[in-house]
Amino acid sequence: MIGIISAMREEINALLEQLQDVSKINKGKRTYYSGILYGKKVVLVFSRWGKVAAAATTTQLINDYKIDEIVFTGVAGSIHSDLNIGDIVLGKNLYQHDMDASPLFNKFEIPIIKKTFIETTTNLSLINSTHLFLDNYSEYIDTSQANSFNISTPKVVHGDIASGDQFITTKSKVEQLNKEIPTAICVEMEGAAVAKVCYEYEIPFSIIRIISDKADDNSSIDFPLFANKIASKYPLGILKNYFT
């Protein structure tokens, strides 16, 4: 069974619409939707924003279901000049950019496990499925809606992600992240927490992030609208290829 998590309901609405033989369980103020998606047994849940919420949801999911793999999907802010709105980041290494237990530990190092980042599972099938989605982009994304967000030729990048309980909106903070974690190309609020839980439970983990904005002073996008009309269609296309 595959667990699919997002931070906002809007980000998985398109997947929920395709879910068959649906059953629901409510726990911890979350709704876990289990069923069949493109021939695969899955559980869908939106975790709410932030690392604590995401970790709690992931732990509940793993303990309540026989999970073989977890995929997190949702929007993220670009902190790399080459990433534009509509581009896809398949996460490689996940950092907690607000983890700082110095001087006892190095900055970003997670105490006890002695890691500064958590690696995702290398998944060539998911990478290929993402490229196939982009090859057939117009089948899933309405051209006029893409144009309204200035999306023209979206691409996929396999790169590092920085997570933290902060909404990054200033150029100075982006510059700080670029300096301290130079390999990170986007920023969000949940991925590293989910990755850590999966690491500790030895569950394969992948993350799909859709760039919704440049994480700086010009971040003014309508997130719920972008998530519902654009971002939710990305995992629909990618996972359809992945599962079939």
The pLDDT tens digits for 58-117 are 999 999 999 999 999 999 999 998 999 999 999 999 999 999 998 999 998 999 999 999
Q: What whole-number distance in Å separates Cα of residue 65 and Cα of residue 57?
A: 12
**pLDDT of amino acid 55:** 98
**pLDDT of amino acid 168:** 86
* 200 in active site: no
Domain boundaries, the chain: 74-243
* 213 in active site: yes
Q: What whole-number distance in Å separates Cα of residue 69 and Cα of residue 198?
A: 9
What distance, in Å, lies between the first and last C-alpha atoms of the chain? 15
Which is catalytic among the residues 11, 87, 109, 160? Answer: 11
**pLDDT of amino acid 12:** 83
Going by C-alpha positions, the residue among 63, 15, 55, 45 that lies closest to residue 163 is 55
Which is catalytic among the residues 10, 82, 213, 216? Answer: 213
State the pTM of this model: 0.94
Do 95 and 230 form a contact (C-beta atoms < 8 A)?
Answer: no
Q: Determine the CATH number of domain 74-243.
A: 3.40.50.1580
**pLDDT of amino acid 224:** 76
**pLDDT of amino acid 219:** 56
Going by C-alpha positions, the residue among 92, 95, 119 that lies closest to residue 107 is 95
Q: What is the pLDDT along the chain (244 residues), one digit of tens a residue?
A: 999 999 888 888 889 999 999 999 999 999 999 999 999 999 999 999 999 999 999 999 999 999 999 999 999 999 998 999 999 999 999 999 999 998 999 998 999 999 999 999 878 999 999 999 999 999 999 989 899 888 989 999 999 999 999 988 888 899 999 999 999 999 999 999 999 999 999 999 999 999 988 766 555 567 778 888 899 899 999 999 999 8
Max CA separation in the chain (angstroms): 53
User: How many CB atoms neighbour CB 11 within 10 A?
Assistant: 26
